[in-house]
Amino acid sequence: MHALHTVLLKITNVLQDWELELVKRLEGRNVRELGESERRMVEVWAKRIADRACLLVKALACPKACDYFSLAKRNLPENCTGGCLLGVFREFKEELEKAIKAREDVVLELARECFDEPLDVAGVERLLKDDGDMLLAHKIRKIGQLLCGEWVFEALFFSGPDLSSRPSAKTMKSVAGAPHEFALVFFDFHD
């Protein structure tokens, strides 16, 4: 099974101050509108940002899972360069919102599958027995992991600044206030 995972990364520790100033000048533009030298700079930055995101993925995912991550090359937003979308480009906010919503949709879908009927104490007691519904128990565990911000296959999103699959209000406020300091990096994760 494959899933596109989106990683939010703060790039102030990847790019130098003068590079961040140049990134800021690209605010609201489209890659197709860039001149050749600007496009090459964006490609260089994207590679450095993607490399940093790869290190983050390898550090946070379980070692075995690292073999299953690769930079995404398909189904990417239009302004994506080298698997990376800079925060200044038009699609950034929409793609970030889409990634966060996808994570929330997974949690809600799992909850719908688990809790068609209210889960009461007797239902939990049935899960505790050897003959309990292990699939239901597994789904409840996944819901807990996702609500706690663990980065699991179903999360589809990871916030580097928060080291969590749940972006904090503080991070979202920072992204809104200084989008040039952030990028999204897209990974193909196969389980």
Mean pLDDT value across the chain: 81
Domain holding 83, by residue range, is 2-190
| More confident of the two residues 145 and 118 | 145
CA dihedral 188, 65, 103, 134 (to 10 degrees): 130
pTM listed for this prediction: 0.82
What would the pLDDT profile of 11-22 be if each residue is shown by its tens digit? 988 888 988 888
Span of 6-10, 135-139, 140-144 with lowest mean pLDDT: 135-139
What would the pLDDT profile of 29-42 be if each residue is shown by its tens digit? 877 788 888 888 88
What's the total number of domains in the chain? 1
DSSP character at residue 179: G
Report d(CA 89, CA 121) in Å as an integer.
50
